[in-house]
Structure 1
Amino acid sequence: MRFATWEHQGEVSAGVVSDAGVHGIPGTTVLELVRSGLATAVAAGEQALEAPAVPLADVRLLPPLQPPTVRDFVTFEEHVEGVRKSIDGAAGVPERWYAAPTFYFTHPYALVGAHDDVAVPPGCRRFDFELEVAAVVAEDLTSPSPDQAAVFGYTVLNDWSARDLQAAEMQVSLGPAKGKDSATTLGPWLVTADELEPYRDAEGFLALEMTVSVNGTRIGHDLLSNMGWPFEELVAYAGRGTRLLAGDVLGSGTCGNGGCLAELWGRDGASAPPPLQPGDVVEMTVEGIGTIRNRVVAGAELPPVAPARTRTRARTR
């Protein structure tokens, strides 16, 4: 089943998607449906399918849900090889990458819909996309094992990245911040996990084809099954020694083979294809889930950031 959130004639609705369009489930949100449990959510969806649909062409698709948190992992070895060279000039994959599925927290209030415009962040000259799949946690969990790691469903994620800002701030060794928090696309809807089980391979990975194009030219193509860890391991690691809530979003990290421009820049040593510019259209499709398509627009021009003051070592007032 496909759950979605959309805007139509000034009203925001949640419900399910069919070939006919979107069917509303009154008085709830997709996050509340996730928290109600899969069986309850599906029952509500099946009832909604009996009502007339609003054509998809008549609605604006919003992010499928408003998650409590968004964690973004880095699970594709090929991506690490290329983007590390582009961001910090180092070659190869850090040994630490193989030890655990590293992630960072990104901005849950900066989510945009499947077809929304995306503004270039202030001061950015090297804007980039990142093709990912995100899993939505199905239950409140604390230190789950991979066998206990319940996933409600999956959606497409584009982790928009200001590469020049990211490279500068990561010199402080705290990870990306303003280089990553301007926008994250989620969409077009949330596909329940059972719908994708036919794609699961013998090693437990989802072998979904992933493609990304810019202005109609394909830039990247990979299989989701090239992840270093399956999503169940990501859920277990995210909840290790702490608490997860139903509705938390976990990004796979960017796929390889052109899943972002920075990977290609690092591999080839040149800015080709060039950074994204206003007017560029980025389209991502993941097999079994759907397609998101965003246009890049000019962002706000803001004053430069003030530098730190001259350092002091005073110990008394």
Structure 2
Amino acid sequence: MKIATYLYEGLEGLGFVVGKWIYPISKTNPTYPATMAQFLDGGAESMQILQESYDRITTSKQNHEGTLAIEEVSFMAPVPHPKSLRDAYAFRQHVATSRRNRGLDMIPEFDKFPVFYFSNHQAIVGPGDVYCMPQHFEKLDFELEVAIVINKRGKNIAAKDADQYIAGYMIMNDFSARALQMEEMKLSLGPAKGKDFATAIGPWLVTKDELLPFKIPAPTGHIGDAYNLQMTCSINGIQVSKGSFADMHWTFAEIIERISYGVEIYPGDVIGSGTVGTGCFLELNGTGKLHSPNYTEQWLSEGDEVTLEVTGLGQLHNTLVLQS
């Protein structure tokens, strides 16, 4: 299933995305979850109810009440009000290349455990405009990622059991103000102000059944679901980044195991994968300067249109707007 949170005539709705159409779930059955939060809180029971409804819609040739064309709605973040937001650091290529570009050896702790940090779950945005302050545009960057959302409460979860806590997957863009980030991290704390202004997710939540054709074995020595999904970023229609979700070193199952050690996780918690290899200008600029002293750095600017695309998950479009 593809499940979207959208605005129609000023009201928030939850709907199935089928081709170019939105099927409002509330029109399917008024007792069904009306918001993403209700769906996630319902866990496996809500998942089964909506899957049965989705199957009826996609196999029926009848018209359904309230069906909307995609052009009629504005997509919000699929999970507009997460309980929390964590971002991991799970792609070896990104970590190793970024460290090499700074003249540093690969850090051995990367292979010992998956690391993550907390970001601002109140600054989640969906497709559309992303408002940034002037200082954010000082080396403003994208980060090409995939995120999951949790729909089952748990604690001390073993990696072998962790995938059952995942409701689905979506694209994530962890916008980063690098000038602010690099300055504050000299104090060995953060990232904070370099990250807390906007994280985009969307355009919809894709449940695991949709990704079965892309499923592959986990990396050698690792546990959990893995998928072969191509990931790209384009700025103003020009592709600048290309990677693969298959290259994720730590699986989401292993990240959940780490996160949940001694700590409860809750339905509505969002967890990012971290940046795929080549998936940000910070890495690309470092590689470019390493190969040529005349390399011109690239950063995002006001008015830029940023498009992240991931196989099976769709396209996440954002436009950068200056907020004075």
TM range (shorter): 0.7 to 0.9
Whether 1:47 and 2:90 are equivalent positions in the alignment is no
Distance 2:25 2:297 in 1: 43
Correspondence for 2:267 among 207, 227, 246:
246
1:120 aligns with 2:129: no
Choose the corresponding residue for 1:197, options 208, 212, 219: 212
Aligned to 2:283: 263
- 1:262-313 deviation line (CA, Å, top 9, x unaligned): 001122227745111011111011001110111112132xxxxxxxxxxxxx
Displacement of 1:92 in angstroms is: 3.2
Structure-2 separation of matches of 1:215 and 1:155: 22
Distance of 2:170 and 2:269 partners within structure 1: 12
1:218 aligns with 2:236: no
Match of 1:310 in 2: none
Matched, 1:11 2:11: yes
Instruction: Tell me the alpha carbon deviations over residues 138-171 of structure 1, each in whole angstroms, 9 at most, x when there is no partner.
Output: 2101010012212110000000000010001111
Counterpart amino acid of residue 319 in structure 2: R
Aligned residue pairs total: 296
Q: Which runs of 5+ in 2 are unaligned?
A: 27-32, 58-63, 219-224
Letter in 2 for 1:47: S
C-alpha distance in 1 between matches for 2:99 and 2:132: 22
Counterpart amino acid of residue 219 in structure 1: V
Which range moved further: 152-161 or 229-238?
229-238
C-alpha root-mean-square deviation of aligned residues, in Å? 1.8
C-alpha distance in 1 between matches for 2:227 and 2:215? 4
Higher share in helix:
2
1:185 aligns with 2:200: yes
Shift in Å, 1:84? 4.0
Deviation at 1:102, TM superposition (A): 0.7
Cα deviation digits, residues 6-65 of structure 1 (max 9, x gap): 011111111211124212223621121022123423423653744342111111100101
**SS of 1:282's equivalent?**
strand
Secondary structure of the structure 2 residue equivalent to 1:241: coil
**Same amino acid, percent of matched pairs:** 35
Task: Please say if residues 100 and 106 of structure 2, whose CA atoms lie closer than 8 Å, have aligned partners that are also in contact.
Answer: no
3-state SS of 1:171 partner: helix
Q: d(CA) in 2 for partners of 1:94 and 1:185?
A: 29
Answer whether contact 2:171 2:201 (CA < 8 A) is retained.
Answer: yes
- TM-score (normalised: structure 1): 0.88
* C-alpha contact 1:4 1:189 (8 A) present in aligned 2: yes
Following superposition of structure 1 onto structure 2, how do residues 274-313 of structure 1 map, counting pairs within 5 Å?
274-300=298-324
State the alpha-carbon separation in 2 of the partners of residues 272 and 128 from structure 1.
Answer: 15
1:307 is matched with which residue? none
Task: For 2:19 and 2:48, locate their aligned partners in 1 and report how far apart those are by CA, in whole Å.
Answer: 17
What does residue 114 of structure 2 align with?
Answer: 101
CA distance in 2, matches of 1:102, 1:35: 26
List structure 1 segments (4+ residues) > 6 angstroms apart after TM superposition.
none
Q: What is aligned with 1:229?
A: 250
Q: Structure 1: which 5+ runs fail to align?
A: 301-317
- How does the TM-score come out when normalised to structure 2? 0.86
- Asked if the contact 2:3/2:16 (under 8 Å) is kept, the reply is yes
